Amino acid sequence: MIVGVVATRLAGTDGVSLESAKLTAVLERRGHRVVHCAGALGPGLHGTVVPAMHFEDPVAADHVHRAFGTGENAPDPALAAEIEEHAGELSHHLRSFLDDFAVDMVIVQQALALPMHLSLGVALTRVITERGLPTLAHHHDFGWERERFATSTVPGVVDECFPPVLPNVTHAVINSIARRELAARQGVDSILLPNVFDFATPPPGIDDFNRDFRQAVGVAPDDLLVLQPTRVVPRKRIDLAIELAARIDAAGVKLVIPHDAGDEGMEYLAELRGLAERAGVDLLHIADRVAAARAVAPDGTKTFALWDVYPHADFVTYPSEIEGFGNALLETVYFEKPALVNRYPVYDADIGPLGFRFVECRGEITDAVVEAVEAALASPALVREMTEHNYGLGAEHFSLEALERILAAALPI
């Protein structure tokens, strides 16, 4: 079977791109061919690039601003008409993609959940309806979970397409809270596809390429590298990571952030830099040195993969107040690193009850939290016990094998 994966973006180290790659790996090892169509495709992905499908496309960004960024909720028929017109253009690209690759089944990654590209949502709904192909709509988070999407000037578009309720569409969500909300709001049942990792393959470590990672980004061999493995957006609560770094009783603490800061503007990064400077924390934002794949520039400058960063980390901070699931938390488990976790709702619902062992907080860095972190850092044996325990739970509940079992039970694969 030929499976066509469609998204606004399938490139970089964002959660949607990473989870899509894992789903693709499961499908390919079951013998299916997977092709892709998005506004950007990462290295090694075969398919069609349609720049206008990217959520950063100027037309798409303008539509989103006029739909959600004005604070108004009076219907805007002119904007709705523009969205429909643009959707017609994107529909043509989608039909060509399906025809060019003779696609038998469609997987839509996030583009029918979060209304970041309104005309793409309309186009996908239209083409999925007319073609009748079996479709998996993989939803990572919904518009109703974000305050910025609370009011809209095109409510008809949002209600019809994010997500659409169609007989040939199977909906998949990544946490039990979203599953309950989708059922309550739209009467739609869905399957639960949690974030996963290839726990059957041991994590990569330090090798000849990444051995000089610390030196390359300004971290000394004896520094305490605290890794904040998330994008730089306010809901990640990176201020808590800065506070923890400031209070840890250790010399040479470096807080390292390898992910991008531009998805919701650069203001938060500037705010964090000011906060870190006032707290005396050495904050290193190294997104320009980390990408989806390794590379070496003509002048010898290395670009590291995310997997080159984790082996050098001494501790991981994951203080998010909201997460669709927690992809970076699974990365931390996979690389067997100790971590601080802010108990966000999905963690409380789907992850914490399984028995994982982290230092936990609830929205603040208390003396007890600092003491627990320092105790872990002072005891390699304790860290080894915690991380080996977590790895076993990850392999049991969040492996590619677990994902394959869920897909095989729910879809014709």
- Which pLDDT tens digit goes with each residue over 25-82? 999 999 999 999 999 999 889 999 999 999 999 999 999 999 998 877 889 999 999 9
Fold of 213-397: Rossmann fold (3.40.50)
Is residue 398 pLDDT above 80, yes or no? yes
CA torsion, points 213, 216, 220, 226, in degrees to nearest 10?
-60
Which tens digit of pLDDT belongs to each residue from 328-386? 999 999 999 999 999 999 999 999 999 999 999 999 999 999 999 999 999 999 999 99
The residues, any chain, with a CB within 8 Å of residue 83's CB and separated by 6 or more, are 63, 118, 119, 122, 154, 157
Cβ atoms of 319 and 241 within 8 Å: the answer is: yes
First-to-last C-alpha distance (Å) of the chain = 8
Which residues is 302 bridged to in the sheet?
296
Per-residue pLDDT reduced to its tens digit, 84-136: 999 999 999 999 999 999 999 999 999 999 999 999 999 999 999 999 999 99
Sheet holding 282-285, edge to edge: 282-285, 253-257, 224-227, 315-318, 339-342, 359-361
- d(CA 408, CA 413) in angstroms, rounded, equals 6
What residues are paired with 276 via a beta bridge? none
pTM (2 d.p.) = 0.84
Amino acid 73: pLDDT: 80
The per-residue pLDDT for range 162-175, each reduced to its tens digit, is 999 999 999 999 99
Cα 73–Cα 75–Cα 81 angle in degrees, nearest 5: 135
Pairing between β-strand 224-227 and β-strand 253-257 as defined by DSSP bridges? parallel
At 292 the pLDDT is 79
Q: What is 2-196+400-410's CATH superfamily?
A: Glycogen Phosphorylase B; (3.40.50.2000)
Average pLDDT for the chain = 95
Tell me the C-alpha distance between 408 and 379, whole Å: 43
Residue 160 tokens read as: 């019809």
Q: What is the pLDDT of residue 260?
A: 85
Evaluate if residue 413 carries a pLDDT over 80.
no
Phi and psi torsions of 302, nearest 5°: -90, 140
Six token digits for residue 370 = 């600092």
Domain ranges of the chain: 2-196+400-410, 213-397
Give yes or no on whether 2-196+400-410 and 213-397 have one common fold. Answer: yes
**183-241 pLDDT per residue, tens:** 999 999 999 999 999 999 999 999 999 999 999 999 999 999 999 999 899 999 999 99
257 pLDDT band (50/70/90 cuts)? very high
Cα dihedral 149→150→151→155 (10° resolution): 70
pLDDT at 327: 87
